[in-house]
Amino acid sequence: MATHVKRAFKYRFYPTDAQAAELSRTFGCVRKVYNMALAARTEAWVLRQERVNYNTTSAMLTAWKKTEELAYLNAVSSVPLQQALRHLQTAFTSFFAKRAKYPRFKSKRKSGVGAEYTSSAFRFREGQLTLAKMAEPLDVVWSRPLPDGIVPTTVTVSRDAAGRWFVSMLCDDPSVKPLPVTDAAVGVDAGLDHLLTLSTGEKIANPRHERRDRAALGKAQRRLSKKAKGDGANRAKARAKVAKIHARIADRRRDYLHKITTRLVRENQTLVIEDLTVRNMVRNHKLARAISDAAWGEFRSMLEYKATWYGREVIVVDRWFPSSKLCSHCGALTESMPLNVRTWTCDCGRTHDRDVNAAANLLAAGRAVTVCGDGVRPQRSTPAGRSSVKQKTPALKG
């Protein structure tokens, strides 16, 4: 039996006042149950070195609902509460496997708000979605149709900081299939002057989405800072204004990256990128804003999951590979290459554009992996559809 890709389709919806109140109660209960279960698991380990699993926390939830203090948990659907416990179990599994940090408590303001419903807690019929505990279907804006004949397996409802409501429907999508195999391969160098430079010589512009709204964002942030701290209505309005500008910037950035990554995956069988440590790079206060706006991490994430979907390969070259300082023609290594040097001439006489040369060297390193593994080695374990390499020798001729 063929396996289908799990794909989420996200839509905006506009709840009625009653639906908004019900969902807000559900969000609060989900956060409460998650935090109580996390506290119970932490206490059990600290005091008794006892590991508490999902089944135990599920029994705890049943007991909590019977108490007078927590009786309000019965007013919302039980499915999102159980899903919160499952998510906590997943978080602990990742922690014990050393893939993530210790789970943290959910904050009312700082954590995202949402609730997940499985198939037993929603009804999807004739293009209408109705959640448990609700009499009327949600007013969903179907910006794109779901693939014919598929039914969502889970539905996640969320509200962002700007006050917008979204529903994400997870489906088995049979329409996502591997693309025809091609010989095309490309090296991709990320930058700031240009968002991406390809080994073909093409440069993809950096729209600098945040800069377009910087004046409006600064004005809104100054107004927010002048409001009295607390839960006042004026401060809430000012906070929502800031959040809306941030959301507008993020939407434009995400749309741009989706278009770029889809095109690259469709055109190339192999894509070679550099393993950039964005978290460390943003410590440079002069470049932090520009680096965050470029969203290299989001670009890599999109590229990797789309490559997995469509049968492509993403090779990640180690961050210490001297892609900019290496001559892609003769393999000579230049000792230093300041950031302000955009073009340079090698001793062999070849003049290089810094970014195009770096992309060409990344492609050469990636090809070394796919052909024979010569001159490179695995950097760390990676998911399917992606390889990661590290240079052994100071020069890699391409």
Is 274 one of the annotated active-site residues of the chain? yes
Encode burial over 17-43: b for 16+ CB neighbours within 10 A, e otherwise.
eebeebbebbbbbbbbbbbbbbeebee
Catalytic pick among 22, 116, 274, 304: 274
| Residue 110 token pair | 């700082």
Catalytic residue among 22, 116, 304, 355: 355
- Out of 189, 210, 293, 313, which one is annotated catalytic? 189
Q: What is the identity of the amino acid at 385?
A: G
Please say if 355 is a catalytic residue. Answer: yes
Reading the block at residue 204, the tokens are: 């993809």
Token pair for 293: 């706006």
> 94: which residues sit within 8 A by CB, 6+ positions away?
100
Show the 3-state SS of 137-184.
CCCEECCCCCCCCCCCCEEEEEECCCCCEEEEEEEEECCCCCCCCCCC
What tokens does 102 get?
Answer: 């210790």
CA 287 and chain centroid, separation? 22
Q: Phi and psi for 380 in degrees, rounded to 5?
A: -165, 170
Within 10 angstroms of residue 263's Cβ, the number of other Cβ atoms is 11
Residue 202 appears among annotated catalytic residues: no
CA angle (365 as vertex; 342, 369 as ends), nearest 5:
165
Active site positions, annotated: 189, 274, 355
